[in-house]
Amino acid sequence: MASIEARGLRKTYGGTVALDGVNLRLEQGRILGLIGPNGAGKTTAINAILGLVPYEGELRVLERDPWVERDRLMRDVAFIADVAVLPRWFRVSQALDYVAGVHPRFDRAKAENFLAKTAVRRTSKVRELSKGMVAQLHLALVMAIDAPLLVLDEPTLGLDIAYRKKFYDSLLGDYLDRSRTIVLTTHHVEEIQHVITDLAFINAGRIVLSCTMEEFDSRYRELTVNPGHLPAARELKPIHERQIFGRDILLFDAVDPALLAAHGEVRTPGIADLFVAVMDQGAGK
């Protein structure tokens, strides 16, 4: 069953096209990394999925139309929007009471456990917390909701690297074993490479690349070319070239690794490297 299914999803703001016919299908139990530059349409796509903006085209989230049935859908979806949105007057204890009050799937003990690992005190108000602590509080609230679909738009913004690492570990450890679907966006793409199961690049309102991580691992190879082998390596049609410390690094799509190995050192590329390659191709380079 598809948790999210979008066909020809369009959204314009005045004359600006934010989504230009997005097609996306995410099966239940998958973790999708939605990657794109600023202004590519990530947040608009996520807002459409969450029923926050109206749209054209077809969109079903957990078999529902998010724009028409937002409040019903929110019983099965937990999400964090891209910026700190917890009201500043909220006391931590009030936030726990409120979410426990309105959300039938909220596990208060679990949220308390998350918070116990942080410096966030029950009696603090949001305005007294640091940026990172607000993010921790919001994560604690959202992660304690046992929702079939979890949407995290830049969830780790403002968190230090140690906490980000712990967060993704707990995200994996805690949720992969259930039939849960997760949509994730972040600018720290390298941190989610081993978390996600599916990858989608979005640029200028379109999905420019979409694959599973199994496909990613089997299709893409990065070759650090041995000196003198560059012309031969180029014969194999790399999709992107770059230079680091005077060495040529070529990216290949669906080329036999055995052929590549003759010309240098072969590795699986990082998502970020493929992202840059795809964006450069799109720019006509």
Partner 1 sequence: MNPRTRPFYWSLRRELWENRFIYLAPLVVAAVLLIGFAVNVIHSANQTGTPLALHLPNDPTPIEQPWAIAAVLLAFTGLFAGAFYCLDALYGERRDRSILFWKSLPVSDLTTVLSKASIALVVLPLVTFAIIVATHVAMLALHTAVLLVSGAGLATLRNRTPLVELWIALLYGLAALTLWHAPICGWLLLVSAWARRAVFLWASLPLIAICILEKIAFNTSRFAFFLGYRCAGGFALAFGAGRPCCIPHPLTSLTPGSFLSTPGLWIGLLVAAIFLAAAAPVRRYRGPI
- Find all residues with CB under 8 Å of 266, minimum gap 6, and list them: 221, 222, 223, 257, 260
Choose one: 3-11, 79-87, 189-197, 233-241; the region binding partner 1 (CB under 8 A): 79-87
Choose one: 86-94, 245-253, 260-268, 277-285; the region binding partner 1 (CB under 8 A): 86-94
Residue 19 binding partner 1, by CB under 8 A: no
Cα distances from 28 to residues 3, 150, 194, in angstroms, run: 5, 11, 18
Please pick, from the candidates 2, 17, 81, 208, the single residue that binds partner 1 as defined by CB under 8 A: 81
Please pick, from the candidates 55, 90, 168, 220, the single residue that binds partner 1 as defined by CB under 8 A: 90
Residue with smaller CB distance to partner 1, 7 or 121: 121
Residue 102 binding partner 1, by CB under 8 A: yes
Angle at alpha carbon of residue 157, lines to 129 and 140, rounded to 5°: 60
**β-pair type (220-225, 240-244):** unpaired
Residue 160 binding partner 1, by CB under 8 A: no
For residues 277 and 239, what is the distance between their CA atoms, to the nearest angstrom?
Answer: 7
To the nearest whole angstrom, how small is the minimum distance from the Cβ of residue 87 to partner 1? 4
Q: What is the DSSP string of 23-60?
A: EEEEETT-EEEEE--TTSSHHHHHHHHTTSS--EEEEE
Residue 88 binding partner 1, by CB under 8 A: yes
Q: Report 116-145 residues binding partner 1 (CB under 8 A).
A: 138, 142
Residue 64 binding partner 1, by CB under 8 A: no
Judge contact between 203 and 50, C-beta under 8 A: no
Please pick, from the candidates 56, 63, 65, 97, the single residue that binds partner 1 as defined by CB under 8 A: 97
Residue with smaller CB distance to partner 1, 90 or 168: 90
To the nearest whole angstrom, how small is the minimum distance from the Cβ of residue 97 to partner 1? 8
| SS3 assignment, position 202 | strand
Calculate Rg over the CA atoms of the chain: 21
Residue 78 binding partner 1, by CB under 8 A: yes
Residue with smaller CB distance to partner 1, 86 or 276: 86
Please pick, from the candidates 39, 87, 128, 131, the single residue that binds partner 1 as defined by CB under 8 A: 87
For residues 230 and 133, what is the distance between their CA atoms, to the nearest angstrom?
Answer: 50
Please pick, from the candidates 91, 108, 188, 234, the single residue that binds partner 1 as defined by CB under 8 A: 91
For residues 117 and 103, what is the distance between their CA atoms, to the nearest angstrom?
Answer: 23
Judge contact between 181 and 150, C-beta under 8 A: yes
Total number of residues binding partner 1 (CB under 8 A)?
Answer: 34
Q: How far from each other are the two terminal CA atoms of the chain, in whole angstroms?
A: 39
Residue 79 binding partner 1, by CB under 8 A: yes
Question: Which stretches of the chain bind partner 1, using CB under 8 A?
Answer: 47, 50-54, 70-72, 74-75, 78-81, 83-91, 94, 97-99, 101-104, 138, 142
